[in-house]
Each structure stands twice: as structure tokens, then as C-alpha cells.
């Protein structure tokens, strides 16, 4: 067996999807990994070896142009990229091709490669829905076509049970959830209400799927003079345009994994949010199945979690079923402020939910997720 991973998100990229893939690949027997093909940061990037894994780079020149020019120039570049992938497949004697979405180009490259080498096992791994996520975007027709091809495959991996349920209900297609994971040992800590800074934290980007929910949480916590700390994925000017109060938020520099986890453990609470369908350009089927990557780190932080989204979303159902977070389903900002303030003063409730969070996190241990992944692709 030789597995080739085709994923645009991989370190040094610091997105949640990159962390997911690093954690998954890290513990696989290196003799079984033929390499990782990922997106290059510069035109000169070619390949290197990290942690005994060969990393191959493809530079998307199309990303230098606006989206309409990309649509045409990608057809020229696509086949140069495909030719490079095909060459690696032959040289490394690849038997399994795991192609990761979210990136439509990479997903289609993997699909095309699998058609050229029909003896190779092609395994799409969807971190998000394809067509639903791009339904109202410029590439919607192409996304529809690619997703229809993907759904013909026999071995489709998805990121959550929410996605599994959607594909079964909507397309009658069976998929297998391969969850987010973490490699760290769970370090149980006694919760103390006073052992926190006067700040709440939002990890990852604030953008089209969560900008309204994030703003409502910000306004609700700001009423009690609580500062909002954000990851470096955000820009101050964008947040101010959205309505965030500059006096009550701080964007932090990029942090190493250890420093990031330490930061989480110092906060008053950790925030999650997904927008309601009527306030977002994103399709409801995409919004309702999202399971933010940062949730996993939150679960092992030893700190309270506050989530804001509609009641019918997978995130809301998951957190409520495991009783490991405060879930705010109302959009009434006064009610939100009251509920959140009461929660942050209820030490016994927070302590109970943190204990439940530790237990829930065990489902995401990298070893368990990795074993399920390997058994599935065999």
C-alpha cells in the first residue's frame, strides 16, 4: 500500500483543515505514505521531506488573478498540474489516492487522476459540502458537476455525522465520517471561576458563514466589558466594517500549537458561531452541517464553550446531546447577553459541561480516528 494525499491545506498553512490533515497523517506508518501534494506558497516550491514524508508542491498561478480570469486560465494550468500529479503517482507506485476538499481544483485534479489510473483506490475526503457550499458562487455549475461525479464513488469520507446525514437524506449516498482529531494527551484540570482572564476567544476566520453570529456574541459579551481575542486569520479593518468595536477586540499574532492551547486555557470562554440561513449567502445545507475544526481544541481546553447558531444545525445538536457547551439559539441580543452573563457566573454548570467536554473529546483522539480511516480505505 502507498497512499498519496492530495490536499491544498497542509503545514506551514495554519488553517483548521491543515491541522486536521497533519494530525491524521502524522501517526500513519511512514512506509505506507507515498507523499502529500499540497499548494505551494511560491513558484519555486517543488518538494521537500518533513517528518519522513515527502511533500510535493503545486503552485496555483490562477490565484494571482481575479475570479473571472481564473475561470479561464485554470483550464490551461489545470492539465500541467494534473500531469505532475500523474507523474508522482507512477514514480511512487501509488495504490490509494486520498483527495481532500475544500478546494475545488484539488478535488477535480484527484478525480481526473483516478480516471487515468482506474486500478488506484480513489477516496474523496470532504471537509465541507461541495455544491451546497458553492451554490451561490461563480463556480456553482462546475461544483455541481464535480460533486455529482464524486457521489458515484463507493468510498466517500466526510468530516462529520451532520454531513453523513445530509448526503444520505438528500442523495441517498452512504458516506463515512472521519472526524477532526488531536494528538495531545487530555490533561484534566479542575475548573475555577476566578482562574481566567477577562476575555473570550474566537479561533479562525470570521467571514460569510459566521460574521453575523460572531458579531452578536461580541456585542453580548461587550456589554459586560469583556474583551474579544481573535486569531491572526482576521483583519482589523474588516472587523470594524462588520461592526466590531475596536476598543473591545484584539487580534493576536500567529501562535504555535502549544501557545495556542495555552491561550485557550486562559480564557473566560471560547466561542463558536454559524449564521442563520436568512442572513447568509451560503446554502442552508452547508451551514447546517458545519462542524468548526476549533471545536476539538475547545473541548480539551478545560474552559467553557459558548456556541450561537440555529437549533436544527448539527453543531447545536452535537453540543446539546453531549451537554458540553452553552448553546444560544436566539438572535435577540438582549436575551443573548442575559443568558451568556448568567452562564459565566454559574460555576457548577460550567464545571459539569467542561467534564462532559473532556469525555466527548475522547471520540476525537487521533489514534482512534486514524484507525477508523485506515480500516475504511483498505
Q: Supply the mean pLDDT for the chain.
A: 91
104-158 residue pLDDT tens:
889 999 999 999 999 999 999 999 999 998 887 777 898 999 999 999 998 999 9
Provide the pLDDT for residue 62: 47
Asked if pLDDT for residue 280 goes beyond 60, the answer is yes
Q: How sure is the predictor about 69, in pLDDT bands with cuts at 50, 70 and 90? A: low
- Listing DSSP states for 216-243 in one string gives HHHHHHHTTT-EEEE-TTS-HHHHHHHT
Quick: pLDDT tens for 182-232.
888 898 989 988 888 999 999 989 999 999 999 999 999 999 999 999 988
Angle (deg, nearest 10), helices 104-116 and 67-91:
40
Using the 8-state DSSP alphabet, how is residue 289 labeled? T
- Does a cis peptide bond (omega within 30 degrees of 0) precede residue 259? no
Domain 199-363 annotated CATH 2.60.120.310: no
Question: Does residue 302 have a pLDDT over 90?
Answer: yes
Domains of the chain, residue spans: 3-178, 199-363
307: nearest Cα among 333, 287, 326: 326
| Superfamily of the domain at 3-178 | Glycogen Phosphorylase B; (3.40.50.2000)
Instruction: Please determine whether the domains at 3-178 and 199-363 fall in the same fold group of CATH.
Output: yes
Amino acid at each position: 500500500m502507498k497512499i498519496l494525499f492530495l490536499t491544498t491545506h497542509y503545514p506551514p498553512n495554519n488553517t483548521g483543515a491543515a491541522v486536521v490533515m497533519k494530525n491524521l497523517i502524522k501517526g500513519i506508518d511512514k512506509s505506507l505514505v507515498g507523499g502529500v501534494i499540497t499548494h505551494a506558497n511560491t513558484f519555486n516550491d517543488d518538494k521537500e521531506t518533513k517528518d519522513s514524508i515527502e511533500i510535493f508542491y503545486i503552485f496555483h498561478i490562477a490565484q494571482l488573478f481575479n475570479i473571472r480570469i481564473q475561470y479561464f486560465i485554470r483550464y490551461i494550468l489545470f492539465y500541467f498540474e494534473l500531469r505532475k500529479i500523474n507523474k508522482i503517482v507512477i514514480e511512487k507506485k501509488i495504490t490509494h489516492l486520498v483527495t481532500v476538499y475544500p478546494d475545488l481544483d484539488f478535488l477535480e485534479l484527484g478525480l481526473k487522476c483516478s480516471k487515468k489510473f482506474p486500478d488506484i483506490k480513489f477516496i474523496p475526503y470532504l471537509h465541507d459540502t461541495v455544491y451546497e457550499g458553492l451554490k451561490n458562487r461563480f463556480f456553482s455549475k462546475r461544483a455541481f458537476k464535480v460533486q455529482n461525479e464524486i457521489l458515484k464513488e463507493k468510498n466517500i469520507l466526510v468530516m462529520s455525522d451532520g454531513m453523513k446525514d445530509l448526503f444520505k437524506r438528500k442523495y441517498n449516498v452512504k458516506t463515512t465520517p472521519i472526524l477532526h482529531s488531536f494528538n495531545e494527551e487530555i490533561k484534566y484540570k479542575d475548573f475555577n471561576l476566578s482562574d481566567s482572564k477577562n476575555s473570550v476567544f474566537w479561533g479562525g476566520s470570521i467571514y460569510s458563514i459566521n460574521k453575523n453570529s460572531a458579531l452578536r456574541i461580541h456585542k453580548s459579551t461587550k456589554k459586560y466589558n469583556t474583551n474579544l481575542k481573535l486569531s491572526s486569520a482576521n483583519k482589523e479593518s474588516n472587523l470594524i466594517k462588520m461592526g466590531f468595536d475596536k476598543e473591545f477586540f484584539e487580534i493576536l499574532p500567529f501562535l504555535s500549537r502549544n501557545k495556542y492551547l495555552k491561550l485557550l486555557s486562559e480564557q473566560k470562554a471560547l466561542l463558536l458561531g454559524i449564521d442563520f440561513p436568512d442572513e447568509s449567502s451560503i446554502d442552508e445545507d452547508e451551514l447546517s452541517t458545519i462542524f468548526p475544526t476549533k471545536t476539538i481544541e475547545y473541548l480539551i481546553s478545560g474552559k467553557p464553550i459558548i456556541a450561537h447558531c440555529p437549533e436544527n444545525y448539527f453543531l447545536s445538536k452535537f453540543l446539546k446531546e453531549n451537554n458540553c457547551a452553552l448553546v444560544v439559539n436566539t438572535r435577540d441580543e438582549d436575551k443573548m447577553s442575559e443568558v451568556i452573563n448568567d452562564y459565566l457566573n454559574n460555576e457548577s454548570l460550567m464545571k459539569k459541561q467542561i467534564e462532559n467536554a473532556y469525555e466527548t473529546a475522547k471520540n476525537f483522539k487521533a489514534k482512534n480516528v486514524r484507525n477508523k480511516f485506515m480500516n475504511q480505505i483498505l
